[in-house]
Amino acid sequence: MQSIILRSAASVLSLILVLSALASCASSDEQQSSVEPPPNIRAWMDRLTVEHEYDPETGFIVAREVITLPDVLTDAPPLPEAVKRSKRDNRPLIVFATADRCAPCQQYKKDALTNALVIIRLTDGPALATHIEVDREGESADRYLGGRAIPMTYLLRDGEVVATLRGQRSANDLLHWMNVNGI
C-alpha cells in the first residue's frame, strides 16, 4: 500500500513539474511575441507588403515569403562568371544583392525587380545584369562587391564597383539610378 501511495505521489509530482515547465514555456513565448520593434523598425514594417515578422533577437525584419526573380536575373550567370563576361565584352554589370531572409529585399524584388520597365531595361539595355543571394554566396559577395550589404544594387565597370544604390527602392528610383549611371 505504501508503494502505491509513493508511486502516486511521484506521478503527481512529475505531472506538476511537466505542467510547470509548459506554463513557463508559454509565458516565455508570450513575452517573446509581444516584443514590439523600435519605432524606426516599425516604420519599415508598415511599408512592407510581403509577409514578414520582427525578430527581436537579431533586430531584423524577417521575410516569410520569397519573391521570384524575373528570368533576366534567374537565367543570368553567377557573379564570378558575370564579372568575367562583363570584362570580356566591355559591358557594365549591374548586381542585385539580396537575401531570402530579408523582408526589405523581398519587397525590392516585388516592387522594382519584377517591374516591366525595369525588366525591359535589364534585358535590352547596355549592361549585363545578375543577382546574388549573399547568404548562399558570401565569398563571392565579399570578393567582388566588398561585402554583404542587403538589399543593395551595384554597378561594376571592368570588375570594380563604381556606383551603388542602397536599400529597398521603387522601380522609378532604380530606373533613375540606371539613367544617371548611363545604363
Residue 63 lies in a domain: no
Single-letter amino acid, residue 157: R
Neighbours of 56 (CB within 10 A): 16
Question: pLDDT value at position 13?
Answer: 41
Is 13 among the domain residues?
Answer: yes
Mean pLDDT, the chain, rounded, equals 84
Residue 96's φ and ψ, nearest 5 degrees, are -100, 115
How many domains does the chain divide into? 2
> Are 25 and 78 in a shared domain?
no
Q: What is the per-residue burial (b if ≥16 Cβ within 10 Å, else e) of 166-177?
A: eebbebebbbeb
What was the pLDDT predicted at 47?
75
Query: 110, 67 in Cβ contact below 8 A?
Result: yes
Whether 26 and 95 share a structural domain:
no
Identify which has the larger pLDDT, 182 or 48: 182
Residue 131 is part of a domain; what is its CATH number?
Answer: 3.40.30.10
CA distance 110 to 122: 16
Same domain, 27 and 108: no
- SS3 category, 157: strand
In a domain, 175, yes or no: yes
* pLDDT at residue number 102: 92
**One domain for residues 169 and 108:** yes
Among 156, 157, 139, CA closest to 148:
139
Q: What percent of the chain has pLDDT over 70?
A: 81
At 170, list the grid cell. Answer: 521603387
Q: Are residue 6 and residue 76 in the same domain, yes or no?
A: no
Domain check: are 77 and 164 in the same one? yes
Length of the chain: 183
**Which of residues 44 and 31 earns the better pLDDT score?**
44
- In tens, the pLDDT along 57-106 reads 888 888 889 999 999 999 999 999 999 999 999 999 999 999 999 999 99
Q: Which residue has the higher pLDDT, 98 or 51?
A: 98
Q: Which residues, in sequence order, are CB contacts of 146 under 8 Å at separation 6+? A: 161
Question: Same domain, yes or no, for 16 and 85?
Answer: no
In this structure, are 83 and 8 located in the same domain? no
Nearest to residue 45, comparing CAs of 58, 34, 33, 36? 36
Task: Answer yes or no: do 28 and 76 share one domain.
Answer: no
- Between 122 and 52, whose confidence is greater? 122
The boundaries of the domain holding residue 19 are 1-34
Residue 147 lies inside a defined structural domain of this protein? yes
Backbone φ and ψ of 32, nearest 5°: -65, -45
In a domain, 86, yes or no: yes
Whether residue 76 sits in one domain with residue 30: no
Sort strands 93-98 and 128-133 into parallel, antiparallel or unpaired.
parallel
Per-residue confidence band for 34, with pLDDT thresholds at 50, 70 and 90:
low
* Predicted local distance difference test score (pLDDT) of residue 66: 93
The answer to whether residues 87 and 165 belong to one domain is yes
